[in-house]
Amino acid sequence: MKKFCTTLLVALLLAITAMPVNADEAKDHICFRSLDTDKDGLVTFEEFEKHYADDEARFKAADVDQDGQLTHDEYHDLLGHGG
């Protein structure tokens, strides 16, 4: 019984410490998800233009690292939401 309680306590502590990590990794806001139609965690210009028409200048301004894709943080900075 003592071994079971110790194992349970360790499992609970591990689960509690992992929760904040999962929350940070899953920057998963609905407005970003709605643009990321292929669910790869990035928004291409093709995905972007479905909602913002042909606003390539706005897309390029938001694409800080100029890799042709918007990350979650780049997109939310564009909206003024922050990361």
Q: What's the pLDDT score for residue 54?
A: 87
Show the domains of the chain with their CATH numbers.
2-79 (1.10.238.10)
- The mean pLDDT of the chain is 79
Residue 23 has pLDDT above 50, yes or no: no
With 0.85 as the threshold, say if the pTM is over it. Answer: no
Checking if the pLDDT of 12 tops 60, the result is no
From CA 49, how far away is CA 57, in angstroms rounded? 11
Question: Does the pLDDT at position 20 exceed 80?
Answer: no
- State mean pLDDT over 48-56: 91
Question: Which pLDDT value is given to residue 14?
Answer: 59
Distance of CA 13 to the CA centre of its chain: 26
Q: Is pLDDT larger for residue 30 or for residue 63?
A: 63
> Within 13 Å of residue 45, how many CA atoms lie on the same side as its CB?
12
